[in-house]
């Protein structure tokens, strides 16, 4: 059984999309994989409620309780490793990870970022795409490396930027694609790890 551990910080809609897709499309069974745990750095992350309702183990490692990034990441790794993950999935996990943490899961940690990387790493991607006059925007699923929002690209999806778009309307259009793309990319990667 390949364990998938998902890290979130907030709403967890991508995590929920992965959990639903794994069941609905049957790849969890076919690939002998399951979402074993959902871990958040925030106790009030809404996604934790969904995960608990699905009977998935949850844990909170509050970054504010640690004096340094290294100390937080060390504890986070301990909690992640309890579930012996084949794959660690960052799904709206809004913490910068140390090179040690990234190295520990090299080749088996994914991130989703709401832009067409390498354009617009970091925050406020949708507003930045609008401000730059982009005609298209999108989403990227990539392997995680030590550099924020970099690493080998596994999948991308493109959406149009409409003339009357706000950051909110563009975000909603991109998010719909995120929910389709992330489960697909995970299902494609799982047989290779």
Q: Please, what is the Cα angle at 29 between 27 and 32, to 5 degrees?
A: 100
Residue 159 binds ligand GAR (CB under 6 A): no
Asked whether position 175 contacts ligand GAR by CB under 6 A, the answer is yes
Pull the structure tokens for residue 54: 């699905």
User: CA triplet 96, 75, 19: central angle to 5 degrees?
Assistant: 70
Q: Does 92 bind ligand GAR (CB under 6 A)?
A: yes
Beta bridge partners of 110: 89, 143
Q: How far is C-alpha 154 from the geometric centre of its chain's CA atoms?
A: 13
The site for ligand GAR, by CB under 6 A, has a size of 14
Identity of the residue, 12 or 85, whose beta carbon is nearer to ligand GAR in the bound complex: 12
Helices 167-189 and 13-24 cross at an angle (nearest 10°) of 40
114 contacts ligand GAR (rule: CB under 6 A): yes
* CB 154, CB 141: distance < 8 Å: yes
Binder to ligand GAR among 35, 51, 87, 91 (CB under 6 A)? 91
Instruction: Name, in order, each residue with C-beta under 8 angstroms of 168's C-beta and a sequence gap of 6 or more.
Output: 126
Exactly one of 4, 5, 6, 8 binds ligand GAR (CB under 6 A); that residue is 8
Please confirm, yes or no, whether 20 is among the known catalytic residues. Answer: no
Task: Return all residues near 23 (Cβ < 8 A) that are at least 6 apart.
Answer: none
Q: How far is the CB of 92 from ligand GAR (least distance, A)?
A: 3
- From 21-29, 31-39, 75-83, 111-119, give the range in contact with ligand GAR by CB under 6 A: 111-119
Position 14 contacts ligand GAR (CB under 6 A): yes
Answer yes or no whether residue 11 interacts with ligand GAR by CB under 6 A: yes
Residues found near ligand GAR in the complex (CB under 6 A): 8, 10-14, 91-92, 112-114, 149, 175, 178
Catalytic annotation, residues? 113
């Amino acid at each position: 059984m390949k364990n998938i551990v998902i890290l979130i910080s907030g709403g967890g809609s991508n995590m929920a999309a992965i959990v639903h897709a794994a069941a609905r499309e049957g790849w969890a069974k076919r690939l002998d994989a399951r979402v074993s745990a959902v871990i958040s750095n925030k106790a009030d992350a809404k996604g934790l409620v969904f995960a608990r309702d699905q009977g998935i183990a949850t844990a909170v490692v509050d970054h504010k309780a640690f004096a340094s990034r290294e100390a937080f990441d060390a504890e986070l790794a301990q909690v992640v490793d309890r579930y012996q993950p084949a794959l660690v999935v960052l799904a709206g996990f809004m913490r910068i990870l140390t090179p040690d943490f990234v190295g520990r899961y090299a080749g088996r940690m994914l991130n989703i970022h709401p832009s067409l990387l390498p354009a617009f790493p970091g925050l406020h991607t949708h507003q930045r795409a609008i401000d730059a006059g982009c005609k298209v925007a999108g989403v990227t699923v990539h392997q995680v490396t030590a550099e924020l929002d970099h690493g080998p690209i596994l999948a991308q999806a493109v959406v149009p930027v409409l003339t009357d778009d706000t950051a909110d309307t563009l975000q909603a259009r991109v998010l719909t694609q995120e929910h389709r793309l992330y489960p697909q990319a995970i299902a494609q990667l799982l047989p290779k790890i």
